[in-house]
Structure 1
Amino acid sequence: MCDILFLVASYGTGHIKVALALQSAILTLNPGLNTKIVDFIELIDPYLNEISQWVFMMILKYYPSLWGRFFKKTENISIDSFRHNFLNVLGSEKLVDLLEREKPRVIVCTYPIQVGVLSRLKRLNIIDIPVVSVVTDIAVHSFWLHPYVDLYIVANEMAKEILISKGVPPYKVADTGIPIEPKFAEPFDREKAFDIFGLRKDLPVVSAMMGGYGLESKLMEVAEVLMDIDLPFQGVIVTGRNEKLKKILSEKIRGKDHIKVFGYVEYNIELLGISNVLITKAGAVTISEALAMETPMILYGVIPGHEEENAQFLLRNNSALIAYNPSELREKIELLLTDDKIIEMIKDSARRIKKPDSATEGAKLILNLLKSR
């Protein structure tokens, strides 16, 4: 049994990171609660989970424009559409079995499919449990919208206004920000951070974190650009859990002692805190973390669809630069390493729109729902 059940999905790490951030904040505020995180697609069928992740990765790697077209085509479809109705029955029986076993008092979703399934179960009076939909992108796709959601947690006021314009009552929408680890709101040890990564304190740091899902070629391009820049700096390339890519890149930069390659990094806060430049695609969690640390970003390898919307938000607010090819990437890196006015403009924007307390503020709202039960 649990008080709060988190339903996530493993299409990228962002949905899980958001759940972990909220879980951490909730347990800090109320340590006595019992919480549980369950991968919804894994619950339905482990094989389905594995094959669907592989298909998604292949689409993003070889046919990213296809994903972009699908995203745009379904962005504003009706909740009564065939697609919605098909997805809303997915895994219903197994989910009901889980809910009967765990008996959660609140359910928090960080992926849209399970939101629709739960909304249908509530409509049919099969369950009567508050549902929180945590939108893990800056844009709000139609797949997140369902009538029996009790609370939406969204990135910003723009996202809130979009939901309200689509008929969601204002009291159901909180623009507390995409939840990131509560530690992002706390001071960090800057001196220790340089030591963790073996970096000098007298040179600027250019970091690259591109996430997974078939973006190996983009990180290779980043490495080649960094190797070719003559300005004084030190580079950090993060490959995540892709050990094969880490090995390839480590070989590639051999002899370039000012560039380091790391695999999975637990010290995101420290790395973002000491980075003068972050090269990243426009994943919502990473950009929210970078904004919290006021780290100037260059967007590169942006995935069509949801990440394009995230990127446009940053560009409209002068919170990042964007590059579409290696030549532009080099130009933007050199600009941020030499132009203090551009850096200050980006940092000023980050100060204005960042939400480092997003997990704690979201946790408070979830706990309020819990008290009402």
Structure 2
Amino acid sequence: MADNTQHSGKKILLLSVSAGAGHARAAEAIRAYAAIADPASTVIHLDVMDYVTSGFRQIYTDFYLKLVNHAPTLWGYLYNFTNEVKRDSSIEKWRRGLERWNAKKLLREIQSFQADAIICTHFLPAEMLSRLIARQELNCPVWVQVTDFDLHRMWIHEGMAGYFAANQEVAFRMRSQGIAAERIHVTGIPIMPAFAQAPTRAICASEFGLDPSKLTIMLMAGGAGLGQLDQLAAQLLQMRFEQMDEAIPFQLIVLCGKNTKALQALQNLALTCPRRLFPIGFTSQVERLMACADLIVTKPGGLTTSECLAMALPMIVNAPIPGQEERNADYVMEQGAALKAIDNLALEFRIRELIAHPQRLNTMREQARRLGKANAAQSVFDIVSANL
């Protein structure tokens, strides 16, 4: 990866929060690029939740995950409520006080590291550091990377050196919140450097035993929102051309992540349809699997969406979490890079339509390619380094 930026071996601290995987993945992407571009620099990544009390961690991460998985409508309400509540309201003062009381260990760690710059991929550390800056207890620049295609009010804080936005609309919203235009950089959302290396379909397909010439659909574990993965895979593989008893010829990759039960069920199903179903467990080679695919069915998290766009991979989004994922889904659908399926039948119908109209799938691919920002991590690191 070519890079003409001059780096100087500085100390950069990345702060994320393990409320969902996206914030940490964005931080890790920046760290991975930094290791390639400037090995002389010391770049470390801390999860804020490792430095707070166990009670606060349970409230902040465990409660969040329970809400989005079991009460998504309630989470959507809270997302909108916290976006609109006034900063000087009693509930906001109570929340900030709770954060201060629980973050003393984190603040000591930050001060001991003596960073030349800090990059926050979650709004919580940005808010904590904003207070330190206001009290003149922190004098290094703090940057904020927004990790969705929407801007929630809680991302905006006084004293930040700059903001990184996913797209022009997020930048527009930042300016409307009083952020100076010169402090806003439209970089995209950081993803791992491997997504910028564009592995060829033929090479990657041979690695996984796939036929590179056959239409390939990829289903990620987030597809559980449409039902059990093995049942959904079976339904898709049973699809036949209308008015003829002939299976629609495509391959199906199913990423199960750490769901070993789903992986076993899919492996059993694969025995009944050899060379059509390819179940994959946890893998660090998602970009190589995406290189084999013509279409992906996935939840529209900010990082996953950015990875798909970087790989010019059209999406069918399903079961978006109300709030940030709904906004992500809206963005890629408005831009023509994705469709939405609300249930299994909708998913089957959309796949049938795209197979019947391949030009539409090609158009979606070109729109995804236009939106993709595979080098976002490079852009973020280079901008921060250039301002030291």
TM-score bracket relative to the smaller structure? over 0.9
| 2:145 pairs with 1:134 | yes
1:223 maps to what in 2?
A: 233
Aligned residues: 369
Kindly report which structure 2 residues correspond to 1:275-314, keeping only aligned pairs within 5 A, or say none: 275-314=293-332
Aligned equivalents of 2:237, 2:319: Cα separation in 1: 18
Aligned equivalents of 1:23, 1:310: Cα separation in 2: 24
- Could you tell me which amino acid in structure 2 is paired with residue 232 of structure 1? P
Aligned equivalents of 1:107, 1:48: Cα separation in 2: 23
* TM-score between both structures, scaled by the size of structure 1: 0.92
The answer on whether the counterparts of 2:201 and 2:212 sit within 8 Å (CA) in structure 1 is: no
1:174 maps to what in 2?
A: 185
1:199 maps to what in 2?
A: 210
- Could you tell me which amino acid in structure 1 is paired with residue 257 of structure 2? G
1:250 maps to what in 2?
A: 267
The answer on whether the counterparts of 2:20 and 2:65 sit within 8 Å (CA) in structure 1 is: no
**Kindly tell me: are residues 58 and 227 of structure 1, through their superposed partners in 2, closer, same or farther at Cα, counting changes over 3 Å?**
farther
| 2:280 pairs with 1:262 | yes
TM-superposition CA deviations, 1:280-307 (whole Å, max 9, x none)? 0111111111111111110112111110
- Could you tell me which amino acid in structure 1 is paired with residue 69 of structure 2? K
1:209 to 216, 220, 227: 220
1:232 to 249, 266, 277: 249
**Kindly tell me: are residues 133 and 233 of structure 1, through their superposed partners in 2, closer, same or farther at Cα, counting changes over 3 Å?**
same
**Kindly tell me: are residues 77 and 253 of structure 1, through their superposed partners in 2, closer, same or farther at Cα, counting changes over 3 Å?**
farther
- Could you tell me which amino acid in structure 2 is paired with residue 40 of structure 1? V
1:6 maps to what in 2?
A: 14
Tell me by how many angstroms 1:354 deviates: 1.5
1:125 maps to what in 2?
A: 136
Kindly report which structure 2 residues correspond to 1:15-26, keeping only aligned pairs within 5 A, or say none: 15-26=23-34
2:245 maps to what in 1?
A: none
Range moving further from structure 2, 219-228 or 54-63: 219-228
2:338 maps to what in 1?
A: 320
2:57 maps to what in 1?
A: 49
2:120 to 96, 109, 119: 109
Tell me by how many angstroms 1:254 deviates: 4.7
Q: Identity, % of aligned pairs?
A: 27
2:75 to 59, 67, 75: 67
The answer on whether the counterparts of 1:77 and 1:142 sit within 8 Å (CA) in structure 2 is: no
**Unmatched segments (≥5 aa) in structure 1:** none
Root-mean-square deviation over aligned CA pairs:
2.2
Tell me by how many angstroms 1:196 deviates: 2.4
Give SS of 1:235's match: strand
**Unmatched segments (≥5 aa) in structure 2:** 1-9, 241-247
Aligned equivalents of 1:81, 1:168: Cα separation in 2: 22
TM-superposition CA deviations, 1:75-128 (whole Å, max 9, x none)? 233333444434444133112210232111111111111111111111122222
1:366 maps to what in 2?
A: 384
The answer on whether the counterparts of 2:337 and 2:365 sit within 8 Å (CA) in structure 1 is: yes
Whichever of the two has the greater Rg, that structure is 2
